[in-house]
Structure 1
Amino acid sequence: MLDTNMKTQLRAYLEKLTKPVELIATLDDSAKSAEIKELLAEIAELSDKVTFKEDNTLPVRKPSFLITNPGSQQGPRFAGSPLGHEFTSLVLALLWTGGHPSKEAQSLLEQIRDIDGDFEFETYYSLSCHNCRT
């Protein structure tokens, strides 16, 4: 699915991971699920810090996958196959989940950490949405 050049570039990014990352796919029998499974397996082959597993018992949208740390069920979840414009978001999610710091100002990160409470965010992006940049 990923060409040799893309694998080489992605492998270099994945070398920056400082924590293990787990890709947990929740799939069905669709062609999109097969595409996601192939993509995630290829990504996991590029780094010993990335593992891939399938768990179709989770009560979430199918097909989708979670990027998390082992033992956790929190992290960004992608619905569908993040290729094209969405691939950059996938790479950033892998890096940040794997401990690579974001480029946000430290003061902003401290403000976010100081917010009390448990929060769950859902963000949707669509290339066909007139409100999303294409």
Structure 2
Amino acid sequence: MLDTNMKTQLKAYLEKLTKPVELIATLDDSAKSAEIKELLAEIAELSDKVTFKEDNTLAVRKPSFLITNPGSDQGPRFAGSPLGHEFTSLVLALLWTGGHPSKEAQSLLEQIRDIDGDFEFETTIRSPVITARTWSRP
């Protein structure tokens, strides 16, 4: 799925991980699911800090996958296959989940951490006319 050049670049980024990362796929019988499974398996092969597993019992959108730390069920979830312009978001999610620091200002990160409440954010991007909707639920 990923060409040699892309694998080389991604492997270099994955070397920056300081914590283990788990990719948990929730799949169905679609071609997109097969594509996601292949992509996640390739990513896991590039680093000993990344593991891939499938859990089709989760009550979430299918096909999708979660990027998290072992023992956690929180983290960014991607619906569909993040190839093309979404690949950058995938790499950033892998890095940040794996402990690589964000380049955002520390003061901004502290403001976010200080927000009280439980929130769930969902961003949807659709083509050919790109629209994005973001909402939160307390």
Residue identity over aligned pairs, in percent, reads 97
User: Where is the strand percentage greater, Structure 1 or Structure 2?
Assistant: 2
Which residue number in structure 1 is paired with residue 60 of structure 2? Answer: 60
Deviates more, 1:113-122 or 1:32-41: 113-122
Deviations 1:19-63 (A, max 9, x none): 100000000000000000000000000000000000000000000
Secondary structure of residue in 2 paired with 1:121: strand
For residue 40 of structure 1, what is the aligned residue in structure 2? 40
- State the 1:8 CA deviation: 0.3
Deviations 1:70-100 (A, max 9, x none): 0111000000000011000000000000011
Q: What is the distance in 1 between the residues matched to 2:116 and 2:78?
A: 26
| CA displacement at 1:11 relative to structure 2 | 0.2
**3-state SS in 2 of match to 1:11:** helix
Measured in 1, the distance between the counterparts of 2:75 and 2:2 equals: 24
Deviation, structure 1 residue 118: 1.6
Q: Give the Cα–Cα distance (whole angstroms) in 1 for the partners of residues 31 and 111 of structure 2.
A: 42
Count of residues in correspondence between the two structures: 125
Give the SS at the match of 1:122. Answer: strand
User: What is the CA–CA distance in structure 2 between the aligned matches of 1:83 and 1:39, rounded to whole Å?
Assistant: 9
Secondary structure at 2:120 match in 1: coil
Note the residue ranges of structure 1 that are not aligned, 5 or more in a row: 124-132
TM-score calculated relative to the size of structure 2: 0.88
Cα offset, 1:119, TM superposition:
1.4
Alpha-carbon offset, residue 120 of structure 1: 1.3
Extract unaligned runs of 5+ from structure 2: 124-136
The CA deviation at 1:117 is: 1.6
**In 1, Cα distance between equivalents of 2:116 and 2:106:** 18
